[in-house]
Amino acid sequence: MGTDTGTADIAIRARGLRKAYQDVVAVDRLDLEVRRGEIFALLGPNGAGKTTATEILEGYRDRDDGELSVLGVDPRRAGSDWRQRIGIVLQQSGDFDLLTVEEVLRHFARYYRTPRDVDEVIEAVGLGGKRRSRTGLLSGGQRRRLDVGLGILGSPELLFLDEPTTGFDPEVRRQFWDLVDGLRAGGTTVLLTTHYLDEAEHLADRVGVIHRGRLVEVNTPARLGGRQQAGAVVGWTDAEGPHSIATNEPTRTVRELAARFGGGEIPELTISRPTLEDVYLHMIEGEGQS
Query: Residue 232's pLDDT is what?
Result: 87
pLDDT above 70 (res 7): no
Residue 2 confidence class, pLDDT cut points 50, 70, 90: very low
pLDDT above 70 (res 202): yes
pTM of the model: 0.82
pLDDT above 70 (res 11): yes
Helix axes 140-152, 101-109, angle to 10 degrees: 20
pLDDT above 80 (res 168): no
pLDDT above 80 (res 228): no
Query: Residue 5's pLDDT is what?
Result: 43
Quick one: what percent of the chain has pLDDT higher than 90?
59
State the average pLDDT over residues 128-141: 92
Higher pLDDT, 229 or 190: 190
What is the DSSP secondary-structure string of 169-220?
Answer: -HHHHHHHHHHHHHHHHTT-EEEEE-S-HHHHHHH-SEEEEEETTEEEEEE-
State the average pLDDT over residues 100-127: 93
Nearest to 136 by CA among 165, 104, 95: 95
For 235, phi then psi, to 5°, come to -120, 150
Query: Residue 200's pLDDT is what?
Result: 94
Nearest to 10 by CA among 41, 32, 27, 42: 32
State the average pLDDT over residues 256-269: 90
Residue 287 confidence class, pLDDT cut points 50, 70, 90: low
CB atoms within 10 A of CB 1: 11
Query: Residue 82's pLDDT is what?
Result: 94
Query: Residue 286's pLDDT is what?
Result: 64
- Integer Cα distance of 71 and 65 in angstroms: 19
State the average pLDDT over residues 134-155: 90
Q: Cα–Cα distances in Å, from 91 out to 76, 230, 258?
A: 23, 35, 51
Least confident of 60-74, 168-182, 238-252: 168-182
Strands 214-219 and 206-211: antiparallel
pLDDT digits 0-9 by tens, 27-86: 999 999 999 999 999 999 988 899 999 999 999 999 999 999 999 999 999 999 999 999
Query: Residue 289's pLDDT is what?
Result: 45
Return the half-sphere exposure (C-beta side, CA atoms, 13 A cut-off) of residue 214: 8
User: If you average pLDDT over every residue of the chain, what do you get?
Assistant: 89
pLDDT above 50 (res 99): yes
Residue 1 confidence class, pLDDT cut points 50, 70, 90: very low
